[in-house]
Amino acid sequence: MMLKTTLLGSVYHFSDLKELFGKANEEKSGDRLIGIGAATASERVAAKIVLSELTLEQIRDNPLIPPDQDEVSRVIEDGVNETVYAGLKAMTVGALRDHLLAHTTTPKDIETLRSGLTSEMVAAVTKLMSTQDLVYGASKMRVTGTCAYEIGRPGTLSFRLQPNHPKDDLDGMRASIFEGLSYASGDAVLGVNPVEDNVESCSRILGALFDIMERWSIPTHICCLAHVSTQMAAVERGAPASMFFQSVAGTQSANDDFGVTKELLDEAAALIRKKGLCAGPNLMYFETGQGSEVSIGADKGVDELTLEARTYGFAKAWRPFMVNNVSGFIGPETIYDGRQMIRASLEDHFMGKLTGLPMGMAPCYTNHTGIDQNDQEMATLLVALAGANYFMGVPGGDDIMLSYQDTSFHDDATMRELLHLTPAPEFFEWAQNMGLLDACGRLSSRAGDASIFLR
């Protein structure tokens, strides 16, 4: 395979797909850290040009991480529909980009097409997309998830209420939950990241979330974001849970580091189907992030965008209810500034949707990067416009347990109002009955007062 092009009189040569994929990315500190980013602006474009001329078959025939060496690669390969792939394989990556964006390509067409793609193809086409390409392209792809009810339908925007507390204090969590509910946040899930990852703590938190859901008859879901094996043990002992959560990554060695295998996730999916609160069929919640593999040295020399696409390809096997990424959370060694975080958020949302995942988003930042609140709000607006299924809802945007900033209840309500979106219908009805939202889904005068839940 000849991977070279001449651009303005200079010849650019790439030795293999791994190098080409790395250099075709927009700049990210994680690619720079492992020495695979483009050296110059021209080299970056040269790589995009060469990539645009590759066929999908060439990508599949030259795996970046061979399936015999990696479980993630095997799961992705197993998921390919060979008939659909046969119809697509002669298409170039450039032609795929234009095809996805064309008016004549319908959402239904994309639903069929995606089953013939591997994650590396999804990554490749994303590298040829601009900001508006990523927003427009994703806006054509709606992927919903159904746990107790469906989220992600056109015209809706849902939120995971994230009431974390640095000491796992239940009263503290309740206070944040009441606050969030009063902004009509929480229709995707009431989901707590626990400080202590053990069965007792997980059960205690799930019990408290369940009580709130019952006491106020809230049509929603509950989840404690401990390690999946902890949640499984808690549910085995009778704790209530709507879904199981787990962080996943794009290489087997990174998943090993997270304590995750296909086998474990299969077991988890079977258990929550049997003993969970909801009928589903979508009962898993995955979290991902560009750079998580680089940050633990499990990247295999592959760029962070492609590893993220592979993460989605892996996650798809369990038909999750929710997937969101937290690319801004990983740190400056993988995403350094606002520009990189905004780009990563758009790429991830697009890739997730193209893969067929019900993507939510967590445009976020830690305090040791160059990212600030204005960058975060730009990312939020753009992925909301692109059609993200849900965002996080964090009091005032400040997660006091995980020490980072994410979307606030205020940001969430703003997105709904600006884009004329409403919560999932079941929750919308509840929020209107509680007097929190008007018929258009806008905050009513009563909204934002957590003390209404104190009676």
For another protein, the binding residues (CB under 8 A) are 29, 32-33, 163, 165-166, 169, 171-176, 178-179, 332-333, 336, 366-369, 372-373, 395-398, 400, 403-405, 408, 410, 413-414, 417, 442-443, 447-452, 454-455
381/443 with CB nearer another protein: 443
Nearer to another protein, 301 or 396 (CB): 396
Residue indicated by tokens 């409403």: 422
Q: How far is the CB of 428 from another protein (least distance, A)?
A: 16
Rank residues 99 and 410 by Cβ distance to another protein and give the closer one: 410
We find the least distance from the C-beta atom of residue 442 to another protein, in angstroms, to be 8
Structure tokens at 231: 């949640």
Cβ pair 384, 111 in contact under 8 A: no
Are the C-beta atoms of 194 and 226 separated by less than 8 Å? yes
Residue 29 in contact with residue 332, Cβ under 8 Å?
yes
Nearer to another protein by C-beta: 83 or 451? 451
Of 372, 19, 412, which Cα lies nearest the Cα of 188?
412
Quickly count helices (H) and strands (E) in the chain. 21, 14
Least Cβ distance, residue 437 to another protein (angstroms): 11
Helix crossing, 199-215 with 228-236: angle to 10°?
A: 70
What minimum distance in Å lies between the beta carbon of 22 and another protein? 16
Tokens of 143: 């992927």
Helix (H) or strand (E) holding 378, with range, is helix 373-386
**CB of residue 362 vs another protein: minimum separation in angstroms?**
17
| Cβ 405 to another protein shortest distance, Å | 7
* Cβ within 8 Å of residue 126, ≥6 positions away: 134, 305, 309, 347, 350, 351, 354
Residue 107 or 259 with smaller CB distance to another protein: 259
Local structure of residue 329 (DSSP, 8 states): G
Question: Which residue's structure tokens are 């369990």?
Answer: 318
Minimal distance, residue 196 CB to another protein, in Å = 16
- CA torsion angle 44 46 52 55 (round to 10): -110
- 214 vs 398, which CB is nearer to another protein? 398
Query: Nearer Cβ to another protein, position 425 or 448?
Result: 448
